[in-house]
Amino acid sequence: MPFIQKAKKRLFLGQTNENMNIGIIGIGRIGKIHLQNCLTHFREINVLGAMNPSQSGRNYASQLGVPMVTNDASELIAHTDIDAILVCSATDSHATYVEQAAKAGKAIFCEKPLDLSLDRVRQTLALVEECGVPLMLAFNQRFDPSFAEAKQLIDSGELGSIRSLRLISRDPGPPPLSYIKRSGGMLMDMTIHDFDMARYQVGAEVVEVYARGANLVSDEIKEAGDIDFASIMLTFSNGAIATIENCRETSYGYDQRMEVFGSNGMIRIENPVKTSTLLSGPLGTLEGKNLDFFMDRYAESYRLELAAFFEALTAGKPMAATGYDGLKAMEIAEAAMRSIAQNRPVRLA
Protein backbone atom coordinates (compact mmCIF):
# COMPACT_ATOMS: atom_id res chain seq x y z
CA MET A 1 0.00 0.00 0.00
CA PRO A 2 1.44 3.43 -0.99
CA PHE A 3 3.02 5.56 1.74
CA ILE A 4 0.45 8.28 1.19
CA GLN A 5 -2.26 5.81 2.22
CA LYS A 6 -0.57 3.42 4.63
CA ALA A 7 0.79 6.19 6.87
CA LYS A 8 -1.52 9.09 6.09
CA LYS A 9 -2.71 9.70 9.64
CA ARG A 10 0.72 9.37 11.22
CA LEU A 11 2.57 11.05 8.38
CA PHE A 12 0.39 14.09 7.94
CA LEU A 13 0.35 14.67 11.69
CA GLY A 14 4.13 14.46 11.79
CA GLN A 15 3.90 11.46 14.12
CA THR A 16 5.77 8.83 12.13
CA ASN A 17 9.36 7.74 12.56
CA GLU A 18 9.27 5.66 9.40
CA ASN A 19 11.77 6.45 6.69
CA MET A 20 10.40 7.55 3.35
CA ASN A 21 11.12 5.39 0.32
CA ILE A 22 11.47 7.10 -3.04
CA GLY A 23 12.10 6.28 -6.67
CA ILE A 24 13.70 8.57 -9.26
CA ILE A 25 12.68 8.57 -12.92
CA GLY A 26 15.43 10.00 -15.11
CA ILE A 27 19.11 9.94 -14.16
CA GLY A 28 20.32 12.68 -16.45
CA ARG A 29 21.84 16.00 -15.39
CA ILE A 30 19.13 17.04 -12.95
CA GLY A 31 18.32 13.49 -11.84
CA LYS A 32 21.93 12.99 -10.81
CA ILE A 33 21.81 16.14 -8.69
CA HIS A 34 18.67 14.99 -6.88
CA LEU A 35 19.99 11.46 -6.44
CA GLN A 36 23.24 12.72 -4.94
CA ASN A 37 21.38 15.08 -2.60
CA CYS A 38 19.04 12.34 -1.41
CA LEU A 39 21.91 10.01 -0.66
CA THR A 40 24.10 12.67 0.94
CA HIS A 41 21.81 15.00 2.86
CA PHE A 42 18.67 13.06 3.84
CA ARG A 43 19.32 10.14 6.14
CA GLU A 44 15.57 9.53 6.58
CA ILE A 45 15.12 9.06 2.81
CA ASN A 46 15.74 5.67 1.17
CA VAL A 47 16.27 5.67 -2.59
CA LEU A 48 14.84 2.26 -3.45
CA GLY A 49 14.83 2.56 -7.21
CA ALA A 50 15.92 4.53 -10.25
CA MET A 51 14.78 4.41 -13.87
CA ASN A 52 16.67 5.64 -16.91
CA PRO A 53 16.29 4.68 -20.59
CA SER A 54 20.04 4.67 -21.29
CA GLN A 55 22.55 2.31 -19.75
CA SER A 56 24.85 5.14 -18.64
CA GLY A 57 22.25 6.58 -16.27
CA ARG A 58 21.44 3.15 -14.89
CA ASN A 59 25.12 2.46 -14.33
CA TYR A 60 25.46 5.74 -12.45
CA ALA A 61 22.60 4.83 -10.09
CA SER A 62 23.96 1.32 -9.57
CA GLN A 63 27.42 2.65 -8.72
CA LEU A 64 25.85 4.82 -6.00
CA GLY A 65 24.18 1.78 -4.47
CA VAL A 66 20.56 2.17 -5.61
CA PRO A 67 19.15 -1.35 -5.12
CA MET A 68 16.62 -1.40 -7.97
CA VAL A 69 17.68 0.00 -11.36
CA THR A 70 15.44 -0.38 -14.40
CA ASN A 71 14.59 1.02 -17.83
CA ASP A 72 10.84 0.56 -17.16
CA ALA A 73 9.16 3.42 -15.30
CA SER A 74 6.00 1.41 -14.70
CA GLU A 75 8.04 -1.17 -12.77
CA LEU A 76 9.34 1.59 -10.49
CA ILE A 77 5.95 3.24 -10.02
CA ALA A 78 4.29 -0.11 -9.21
CA HIS A 79 6.83 -0.91 -6.48
CA THR A 80 4.68 -1.29 -3.36
CA ASP A 81 7.36 -0.02 -0.98
CA ILE A 82 8.01 3.24 -2.86
CA ASP A 83 6.17 6.18 -1.30
CA ALA A 84 7.15 9.08 -3.56
CA ILE A 85 8.34 9.49 -7.15
CA LEU A 86 10.78 12.14 -8.37
CA VAL A 87 10.17 12.82 -12.08
CA CYS A 88 13.41 14.11 -13.59
CA SER A 89 13.06 12.80 -17.15
CA ALA A 90 12.73 14.66 -20.45
CA THR A 91 10.02 17.32 -20.53
CA ASP A 92 7.80 15.50 -23.01
CA SER A 93 7.49 12.55 -20.62
CA HIS A 94 6.63 14.44 -17.40
CA ALA A 95 2.84 14.38 -17.68
CA THR A 96 2.73 10.65 -18.49
CA TYR A 97 4.84 9.70 -15.49
CA VAL A 98 2.99 12.09 -13.16
CA GLU A 99 -0.34 10.59 -14.21
CA GLN A 100 0.94 7.04 -13.69
CA ALA A 101 2.35 7.92 -10.28
CA ALA A 102 -0.86 9.66 -9.23
CA LYS A 103 -2.95 6.62 -10.17
CA ALA A 104 -0.58 4.49 -8.09
CA GLY A 105 -1.13 6.74 -5.07
CA LYS A 106 2.41 8.09 -4.91
CA ALA A 107 3.46 11.54 -3.77
CA ILE A 108 5.12 13.34 -6.70
CA PHE A 109 7.99 15.78 -7.20
CA CYS A 110 8.26 16.84 -10.84
CA GLU A 111 10.68 19.00 -12.78
CA LYS A 112 9.15 21.84 -14.74
CA PRO A 113 7.26 22.15 -16.98
CA LEU A 114 4.62 19.51 -16.44
CA ASP A 115 4.09 19.36 -20.21
CA LEU A 116 4.43 21.62 -23.25
CA SER A 117 0.66 21.65 -23.83
CA LEU A 118 -1.51 23.78 -21.56
CA ASP A 119 -4.47 21.48 -22.17
CA ARG A 120 -2.42 18.43 -21.15
CA VAL A 121 -1.20 20.22 -18.03
CA ARG A 122 -4.78 21.03 -17.00
CA GLN A 123 -5.84 17.42 -17.61
CA THR A 124 -2.91 16.09 -15.59
CA LEU A 125 -3.55 18.46 -12.69
CA ALA A 126 -7.21 17.45 -12.66
CA LEU A 127 -6.19 13.79 -12.43
CA VAL A 128 -3.70 14.50 -9.63
CA GLU A 129 -6.42 16.30 -7.69
CA GLU A 130 -8.87 13.45 -8.30
CA CYS A 131 -6.32 10.93 -6.99
CA GLY A 132 -5.68 13.08 -3.93
CA VAL A 133 -1.88 12.86 -4.03
CA PRO A 134 0.58 15.68 -3.26
CA LEU A 135 2.42 17.23 -6.21
CA MET A 136 5.33 19.69 -6.10
CA LEU A 137 6.75 21.46 -9.16
CA ALA A 138 10.51 21.96 -9.03
CA PHE A 139 10.94 25.72 -9.23
CA ASN A 140 14.25 25.49 -7.41
CA GLN A 141 15.10 29.20 -7.61
CA ARG A 142 12.40 29.94 -5.03
CA PHE A 143 14.58 28.14 -2.49
CA ASP A 144 17.78 30.04 -3.17
CA PRO A 145 18.58 31.73 0.18
CA SER A 146 18.92 35.20 -1.38
CA PHE A 147 15.68 35.01 -3.37
CA ALA A 148 13.90 33.50 -0.35
CA GLU A 149 15.10 36.36 1.84
CA ALA A 150 13.84 38.89 -0.70
CA LYS A 151 10.41 37.23 -0.61
CA GLN A 152 10.36 37.38 3.19
CA LEU A 153 11.23 41.09 3.17
CA ILE A 154 8.53 41.81 0.59
CA ASP A 155 5.89 39.87 2.51
CA SER A 156 6.86 41.62 5.75
CA GLY A 157 6.05 45.00 4.20
CA GLU A 158 9.65 46.17 4.43
CA LEU A 159 9.57 47.49 0.84
CA GLY A 160 6.06 48.93 1.01
CA SER A 161 4.07 48.52 -2.18
CA ILE A 162 5.98 46.89 -5.05
CA ARG A 163 6.45 49.14 -8.06
CA SER A 164 8.82 47.17 -10.27
CA LEU A 165 10.91 44.02 -10.52
CA ARG A 166 13.84 43.36 -12.84
CA LEU A 167 15.30 39.94 -13.62
CA ILE A 168 18.39 39.14 -15.68
CA SER A 169 19.11 35.51 -16.61
CA ARG A 170 22.00 34.80 -18.97
CA ASP A 171 23.49 31.37 -19.50
CA PRO A 172 27.21 30.99 -20.28
CA GLY A 173 26.35 28.97 -23.37
CA PRO A 174 23.38 27.31 -25.07
CA PRO A 175 22.46 23.69 -24.38
CA PRO A 176 22.90 21.03 -27.09
CA LEU A 177 20.67 21.46 -30.12
CA SER A 178 19.10 18.07 -29.44
CA TYR A 179 17.93 19.41 -26.06
CA ILE A 180 16.63 22.67 -27.52
CA LYS A 181 14.47 20.77 -30.01
CA ARG A 182 12.71 18.91 -27.16
CA SER A 183 12.63 21.74 -24.61
CA GLY A 184 9.64 23.71 -25.85
CA GLY A 185 11.82 26.71 -26.62
CA MET A 186 13.73 29.21 -24.53
CA LEU A 187 10.65 30.87 -23.04
CA MET A 188 9.15 27.58 -21.89
CA ASP A 189 12.44 26.06 -20.76
CA MET A 190 14.63 28.89 -19.43
CA THR A 191 12.47 31.98 -18.99
CA ILE A 192 9.75 30.00 -17.23
CA HIS A 193 11.89 30.22 -14.07
CA ASP A 194 11.81 34.00 -14.34
CA PHE A 195 8.07 34.02 -14.96
CA ASP A 196 7.59 31.99 -11.80
CA MET A 197 10.05 34.13 -9.82
CA ALA A 198 8.39 37.38 -10.88
CA ARG A 199 4.93 36.11 -9.98
CA TYR A 200 6.24 34.65 -6.71
CA GLN A 201 8.00 37.82 -5.58
CA VAL A 202 5.29 40.30 -6.63
CA GLY A 203 2.52 38.14 -5.14
CA ALA A 204 -0.01 38.97 -7.86
CA GLU A 205 -1.15 37.58 -11.19
CA VAL A 206 0.12 38.75 -14.58
CA VAL A 207 -2.54 40.48 -16.67
CA GLU A 208 -0.49 41.51 -19.72
CA VAL A 209 2.67 40.31 -21.48
CA TYR A 210 4.73 42.12 -24.10
CA ALA A 211 7.79 40.28 -25.43
CA ARG A 212 10.43 40.66 -28.09
CA GLY A 213 12.70 37.85 -29.21
CA ALA A 214 15.81 37.67 -31.36
CA ASN A 215 18.57 35.38 -32.60
CA LEU A 216 21.86 36.95 -31.58
CA VAL A 217 23.87 33.87 -30.55
CA SER A 218 23.40 30.90 -32.88
CA ASP A 219 22.14 30.34 -36.41
CA GLU A 220 21.54 26.70 -35.50
CA ILE A 221 19.08 27.74 -32.77
CA LYS A 222 17.29 29.94 -35.30
CA GLU A 223 17.10 27.05 -37.78
CA ALA A 224 15.63 24.90 -35.00
CA GLY A 225 12.81 27.44 -34.69
CA ASP A 226 13.85 28.96 -31.36
CA ILE A 227 15.20 32.30 -30.13
CA ASP A 228 18.31 32.87 -28.01
CA PHE A 229 17.60 36.38 -26.68
CA ALA A 230 14.40 37.81 -25.20
CA SER A 231 13.21 40.97 -23.47
CA ILE A 232 9.82 40.76 -21.77
CA MET A 233 7.56 43.14 -19.84
CA LEU A 234 4.93 41.79 -17.45
CA THR A 235 2.11 43.90 -16.03
CA PHE A 236 0.53 42.61 -12.81
CA SER A 237 -2.98 42.96 -11.44
CA ASN A 238 -1.69 45.23 -8.65
CA GLY A 239 -0.09 47.63 -11.14
CA ALA A 240 3.51 46.47 -10.64
CA ILE A 241 5.67 45.96 -13.74
CA ALA A 242 8.39 43.35 -14.21
CA THR A 243 11.06 43.33 -16.91
CA ILE A 244 12.96 40.17 -17.80
CA GLU A 245 16.03 39.77 -20.01
CA ASN A 246 17.30 36.36 -21.10
CA CYS A 247 20.24 35.34 -23.26
CA ARG A 248 21.66 31.92 -24.08
CA GLU A 249 25.28 33.10 -23.99
CA THR A 250 27.62 35.29 -21.96
CA SER A 251 31.39 35.67 -22.07
CA TYR A 252 31.78 35.90 -18.28
CA GLY A 253 29.88 32.99 -16.75
CA TYR A 254 26.40 32.45 -15.35
CA ASP A 255 24.51 35.70 -14.76
CA GLN A 256 21.40 35.71 -12.55
CA ARG A 257 20.35 38.97 -10.87
CA MET A 258 17.21 40.55 -9.47
CA GLU A 259 16.09 43.98 -8.29
CA VAL A 260 12.79 44.73 -6.55
CA PHE A 261 11.77 48.38 -6.14
CA GLY A 262 9.06 49.41 -3.70
CA SER A 263 7.62 52.55 -2.14
CA ASN A 264 9.85 52.13 0.96
CA GLY A 265 13.05 50.86 -0.58
CA MET A 266 14.81 48.45 -2.92
CA ILE A 267 16.28 44.94 -2.83
CA ARG A 268 19.11 43.95 -5.14
CA ILE A 269 20.48 40.43 -5.51
CA GLU A 270 23.80 40.22 -7.31
CA ASN A 271 25.75 37.26 -8.65
CA PRO A 272 27.74 35.18 -6.17
CA VAL A 273 31.34 34.75 -7.32
CA LYS A 274 33.80 31.87 -7.08
CA THR A 275 36.01 33.54 -4.48
CA SER A 276 35.80 36.63 -2.27
CA THR A 277 39.33 37.71 -3.21
CA LEU A 278 39.69 41.32 -4.38
CA LEU A 279 42.72 42.35 -6.46
CA SER A 280 43.43 46.09 -6.45
CA GLY A 281 45.90 47.76 -8.78
CA PRO A 282 46.46 50.79 -11.02
CA LEU A 283 43.49 49.88 -13.22
CA GLY A 284 41.05 49.44 -10.34
CA THR A 285 39.76 46.50 -8.32
CA LEU A 286 38.94 43.05 -9.69
CA GLU A 287 36.73 40.55 -7.87
CA GLY A 288 36.23 36.82 -8.35
CA LYS A 289 34.72 35.33 -11.50
CA ASN A 290 31.06 34.43 -11.88
CA LEU A 291 30.05 30.84 -11.20
CA ASP A 292 30.14 28.56 -14.23
CA PHE A 293 26.48 27.57 -14.60
CA PHE A 294 23.18 27.07 -12.81
CA MET A 295 24.34 23.78 -11.22
CA ASP A 296 26.94 25.79 -9.27
CA ARG A 297 24.75 28.83 -8.65
CA TYR A 298 21.82 26.82 -7.34
CA ALA A 299 23.50 23.85 -5.66
CA GLU A 300 22.02 24.84 -2.30
CA SER A 301 18.55 25.55 -3.68
CA TYR A 302 18.34 22.05 -5.17
CA ARG A 303 18.95 20.59 -1.73
CA LEU A 304 16.51 22.99 -0.07
CA GLU A 305 13.69 22.31 -2.53
CA LEU A 306 13.92 18.58 -1.81
CA ALA A 307 13.94 19.36 1.90
CA ALA A 308 10.76 21.41 1.40
CA PHE A 309 9.11 18.53 -0.47
CA PHE A 310 9.96 15.95 2.19
CA GLU A 311 8.99 18.31 5.02
CA ALA A 312 5.62 19.08 3.41
CA LEU A 313 4.90 15.34 3.16
CA THR A 314 5.88 14.48 6.70
CA ALA A 315 4.20 17.53 8.26
CA GLY A 316 1.09 17.55 6.09
CA LYS A 317 1.83 21.07 4.83
CA PRO A 318 0.94 22.52 1.41
CA MET A 319 3.64 22.25 -1.23
CA ALA A 320 5.83 25.33 -1.61
CA ALA A 321 5.50 25.25 -5.41
CA THR A 322 2.37 23.65 -6.80
CA GLY A 323 1.08 22.37 -10.10
CA TYR A 324 -1.03 25.53 -10.29
CA ASP A 325 2.14 27.64 -10.05
CA GLY A 326 3.55 25.66 -12.95
CA LEU A 327 0.37 26.21 -14.96
CA LYS A 328 0.43 29.98 -14.39
CA ALA A 329 4.09 30.21 -15.45
CA MET A 330 3.26 28.26 -18.61
CA GLU A 331 0.35 30.57 -19.40
CA ILE A 332 2.73 33.53 -19.18
CA ALA A 333 5.25 31.74 -21.42
CA GLU A 334 2.58 30.93 -24.00
CA ALA A 335 1.40 34.55 -23.98
CA ALA A 336 5.00 35.73 -24.44
CA MET A 337 5.41 33.46 -27.47
CA ARG A 338 2.22 34.85 -28.98
CA SER A 339 3.41 38.39 -28.25
CA ILE A 340 6.66 37.79 -30.15
CA ALA A 341 4.87 36.15 -33.08
CA GLN A 342 2.22 38.87 -33.33
CA ASN A 343 4.37 41.84 -32.24
CA ARG A 344 1.80 43.09 -29.73
CA PRO A 345 0.93 42.98 -26.04
CA VAL A 346 -1.13 39.94 -25.05
CA ARG A 347 -3.74 40.11 -22.29
CA LEU A 348 -4.20 37.23 -19.86
CA ALA A 349 -7.59 36.26 -18.53
**Cis ω for the linkage preceding 176 (within 30 of 0):** no
Which of 93, 120, 138 is the endpoint of a domain? 138
Contact 21, 81 (CB under 8 A): yes
Same domain flag for 56 and 177: no
Give Cβ neighbours of residue 183 (< 8 Å, ≥ 6 apart). Answer: 91, 175, 189
Same domain flag for 111 and 226: no
Cα–Cα distance for residue pair 163/149, rounded to 1 Å: 18
Q: Is residue 175 part of a domain?
A: yes
Cβ of 313: how many Cβ atoms within 10 Å?
22
CATH code, domain with 98: 3.40.50.720
pTM: 0.91
Contact 187, 333 (CB under 8 A): yes
Full residue range of the structural domain in which residue 281 is found: 142-297+325-347
Sheet holding 45-51: strands in order across?
68-70, 45-51, 20-25, 84-87, 107-111, 135-138
Q: Is residue 311 part of a domain?
A: no
Low-confidence ranges of the chain (pLDDT < 50): 1-4, 6-17
Which of 119, 138, 157 is the endpoint of a domain? 138
Same domain flag for 104 and 146: no
pLDDT tens digits, residue range 309-349?
A: 999 999 999 999 999 999 999 999 999 999 999 999 999 98
Q: Is residue 315 part of a domain?
A: no
Q: Is residue 304 part of a domain?
A: no
Q: Is residue 67 part of a domain?
A: yes
Same domain flag for 100 and 146: no
Same domain flag for 125 and 148: no
Cβ of 107: how many Cβ atoms within 10 Å?
26
Same domain flag for 156 and 244: yes
Same domain flag for 126 and 234: no
Distance from chain centroid for Cα 248: 17
Collapsing DSSP states into helix, strand and coil, what is residue 232?
Answer: strand
Q: Is residue 313 part of a domain?
A: no
Same domain flag for 101 and 182: no
Same domain flag for 98 and 156: no
Cβ of 344: how many Cβ atoms within 10 Å?
11
Residues in the chain: 349
Same domain flag for 46 and 148: no
Closest-CA residue to 166 (of 253, 241, 228): 241
Cβ of 341: how many Cβ atoms within 10 Å?
11
Same domain flag for 161 and 94: no
Which of 107, 138, 169 is the endpoint of a domain? 138
Cα–Cα distance for residue pair 126/120, rounded to 1 Å: 10
Backbone angles phi, psi at 13, to 5 degrees: -95, 5
Q: Is residue 316 part of a domain?
A: no
Same domain flag for 342 and 249: yes
Q: What is the pLDDT of residue 281?
A: 92
CATH code, domain with 151: 3.30.360.10
Number of domains in the chain: 2
Mean of pLDDT over the chain: 93
Q: Is residue 41 part of a domain?
A: yes
pLDDT tens digits, residue range 234-272?
A: 999 999 999 999 999 999 999 999 999 999 999 999 999
